[in-house]
Amino acid sequence: MAGKFEIKTGKDGRAHFNLKASNGQVILTSEKYESRKACENGIASVRKNAGNDARFERKTAKDGSPYFVLKAANGEPIGKSEMYKTKRSMENGIASVAKNAPDAVVTDA
């Protein structure tokens, strides 16, 4: 089974997506978008940028947990990972986004 993008629309009409790996684990979460169409554009941007390692900004949270932010060519963040326990697991998360995003189906959560 491949990964999938799940779109969730809130009561306020704003939408966001989660990219899930084939095992169902969330590997990337978007910001909230004003509309479903804008959210779909965000998914297209993830597909376009996920294969470019330079688009992944590796960061460290205040508590020392590694995480990453996927950015578009213009530098705008498209999605953020969970907090990881180790840098190795964060790198595995980046590899999972790169592998899963291009062919992931889009569903409603």
- Comparing CA positions, the residue from 81, 77, 56 lying closest to residue 66 is 81
Helix ranges, the chain (H): 36-49, 87-100
- Residue 50, domain extent: 4-108
For the chain, give the mean pLDDT. 95
Give the whole-angstrom CA distance, residue 49 versus residue 104: 14
Residue 2 — pLDDT band, cuts 50, 70, 90?
Answer: confident
**Segment 12-61, tens digit of pLDDT:** 999 999 999 989 999 999 999 999 999 999 999 999 999 999 999 999 99
Secondary structure E strands in the chain:
4-9, 15-20, 26-30, 56-60, 66-71, 77-80, 105-108
CATH of the domain at 54: 2.30.29.80
Q: Are 78 and 32 in contact (CB under 8 A)?
A: no
Domains: count for the chain: 1
